[in-house]
Amino acid sequence: MWEQRGIELRRGIQDFNGNDILSYLARNQKEVLHRVDKENKSVIKAIRIQQEVVLIKLSIGDQELVLSFPQLIRPTIHVSKVATDFVDEWFDLSRDLQPFYDLAHGDEILKEVVLAYKGLRIVGVEELFEALSWSIMGQQISLHVAYALKQKLVTTYGESIVHDNEEYWVFPTAQKLASLEVEQLRKLSFTQRKAEYIIGVAELIATGQIDKEQLQVMSLGEMEARLTAIRGIGKWSANYVIMRCLRHPDAFPLADVGLHNALKKVLNRSEKPTLDEIERWAEHWSGWRAYATFYLWRTLQD
């Protein structure tokens, strides 16, 4: 686990593919919620701790993670605990991946993929509102356009902190966006529907009608049913949120275009597989379909 060494916190880690995780974090130049330094194998991110914005830096060694606080002389015990808990959840560090490796070893589709990226962990989205908003922004548009929307939203309504002349942002709160009018998001290039959906989700979270802890004690089926009852959240969005925020390893965004393209690439096909084919293959991935999806996504970056 984490150990305090001077002003740094360190955690030994073995089953962790830092290079591929950093590649995932750096996949789009418009990403505004963290900054990756691939040469020095580190990532800097702003997080909220008791309503304050705090900057953390995570350096990724071969068998060790080093967490530091670029703007704090010495973090309090509470700040250190919140930050280490955040990193643990961000990279799903508590999960034993050996059962997934065992499953993949006997699967013709996953075998080589998992061997190539072993140690890759699902990069999470801690805040439920951010996860739901990101899933709405990504509906029926390219990833690049979705990142552009997120950049506009975050830099208009989020909070930031400056370090070494660089600005680091945190995602807007549900309370902040719940107070907006649809037209304010329309000015940021959101469609009418997406603006309505995001403000609607913000209102649900701001008023406590839905929260992460409430969802995490549910079964996968219950989570999906609760989320798809929200206006603007279909099965794809629900499973994306369950996968990256609620952390259920069997969430499965069946309709995901990236998943389809990855399977087409891995199978060396001229056309994408059908949904029926994917469902049939995924039966063998039961219990680990979220991880199967995340590993297949990784192949699209090569």
Catalytic one of 88, 256, 276, 302: 256
Task: Give the CA count within 13 Å in the CB-facing half-sphere of 158.
Answer: 21
Q: How far apart are the first and last CA of the chain?
A: 33
Alpha-carbon gap, residue 225 to 36, rounded angstroms: 36
Contact, 177 vs 196, CB < 8 A?
Answer: no
Structure tokens given for 99: 């059962």
Active site residue 102: no
As annotated, the active-site residues are 256
